[in-house]
Amino acid sequence: MISILVTGANGQLGKTIEELYKNNTLGLHFVFVSKTELDITNKALLESFFSKHAFNYCINCAAYTNVEQAEKTPEIAYKINSQGAKNLANVCLERKVTLIHISTDYVFDGEKTEPYKISDDTNPINEYGKSKLQGEHHIKAVLDNYFIIRTSWLYSKKHGNNFYKTILKKAKTEKELRITTDQKGVPTDTENLSRFTVELIKNNDKNFGLYHFCDENAMTWYDFAKSILIENKLLDNINLIKTDKFKTLALRPLYSVLSKKRE
């Protein structure tokens, strides 16, 4: 039986993994812990928790993902996304646990016009992206046996707060939606990322290192909103308007499509 710890289990990805695999018959045993049950920024707590279990893998879904708030209180983002990742890496090294860490397309600056390769230089333009990149660096410095999976525009149709659910909510209460066309990426369903992640474990994959994973269709936020409304038969109920004037506190990559090819 392979034992797998999933941190950040109350987030949309953690909940999706639990929904898909908690009652599996794959010979995998999952332990799901939320932040209140296991705070990855507390190294002593991590060491104590890991000492009481014999994990083979740790899937780290714990992250600070509020991109706007990270600009105002970056210390919180760095504490979780950087120091927390470092703590996990060190404990995984001590306990011989393979770490699978979820990262982001926001480690790139968005100045390319073709999909970002794994080998491309990173250059995050907001505090969230910088904190996640620091986490990557810590893991690489500590571990040999790790998987870092960068993903993009992650959403769940069932869990968490995300663009997909926000559009559905607004479509039921507003007559008009203005959605930006100035950013392009690949919306990625948590179910697909969950399956990709667990496949690495099921296949006993030893090709450690950095991965990119996203779904197949690159689009703007406007395109994504339109596809959500069409899928839920709501497009006729709302006036969907393109805009390039959507202002945010945090700078966002204008282009963050990821290439999944490994070089």
Distance CA 214, CA 200 (A): 15
DSSP annotation of 16 reads H
Residues with Cβ within 8 Å of residue 41, at least 6 apart in sequence? 79, 80, 83, 84, 87
Distance CA 129, CA 108 (A): 8
Distance CA 13, CA 151 (A): 11
21 labelled catalytic: no
H or E segment to which residue 150 belongs = strand 146-151
Distance CA 89, CA 186 (A): 28
Which of 128, 146, 155, 255 is an active site residue?
A: 128
- In this structure, are residues 227 and 49 in contact, taking their beta carbons and an 8 Å threshold? no
* Two tokens, residue 248: 């945010």
Distance CA 242, CA 176 (A): 11
* Two tokens, residue 164: 């997909």
Question: Which residue numbers are catalytic?
Answer: 128
